[in-house]
Amino acid sequence: MKKSLIAIASIAAFTSYGAFAQSTGYSIEDSGIYVGGNYGYLKAEGEDDFDDDKDVWQGILGYQFNDWIAVEGSYIDFGDYGTDLAGAETDGYTAAVKGILPLNERFSLYAKVGQLWSETEYNFGEANGDYDDESLFVGAGLSYAITKNFLVNAEYTIYDTTLDADEAVDDIDDTDFETDLKQASLGIEYRF
């Protein structure tokens, strides 16, 4: 499956590159609304039993003001992680400011900082519950413009999250766990 996706992406990139090489006055759309999505790898690391590796997906809606600044919001599903003894499932919404550094007509670097509002449904043995959290995140990535409106990107993001299971587990001394969610993903973006 992965080999098929890589082959399709390679063919699309080479075909688009040929069309772009023939066009004149190429310029990436530098302002306006964009939509996109990311799919990738999630590493949950913490001082608890939630160390795990999973898939993550994210839908994005943003607005780029000029070549250098954008704001974006997203819905993100971190999936479930942990074990049957201690596990969790997290999803949430983000808002971020994105700084962009164009390198040339096709490539640009970007960094973002923002807020994650998440809900985690957790279980400790037979005890279940949920916890709402607000946490900061930072991320960085590289974008490549296949066409003037269609971009692909590679991104790495770290979310600083907390899980508080106080209400569900009374016999554990410390139920406030720090868990970093680290996301490495590939994505697409379409600018209107």
**CATH label of the domain that carries residue 144:** 2.40.160.20
pLDDT digits (tens), the chain, 192 positions: 444 444 444 444 444 444 444 443 445 557 899 999 999 998 877 655 445 567 899 999 999 999 999 999 999 998 877 776 777 788 999 999 999 999 999 999 999 999 999 998 877 777 777 878 898 999 999 999 999 899 999 999 999 876 555 544 444 444 555 667 889 999 999 999
Give the residue numbers spanning the domain of 87.
Answer: 2-191
For residue 186, what are the CA distances in angstroms to 1, 95, 102?
A: 16, 19, 19
Tokens describing residue 135: 């946490």
Nearest CA to 127 out of 82, 170, 90 is that of 170
181, 90 contact by CB (below 8 A): yes
Q: How many domains does the chain have?
A: 1
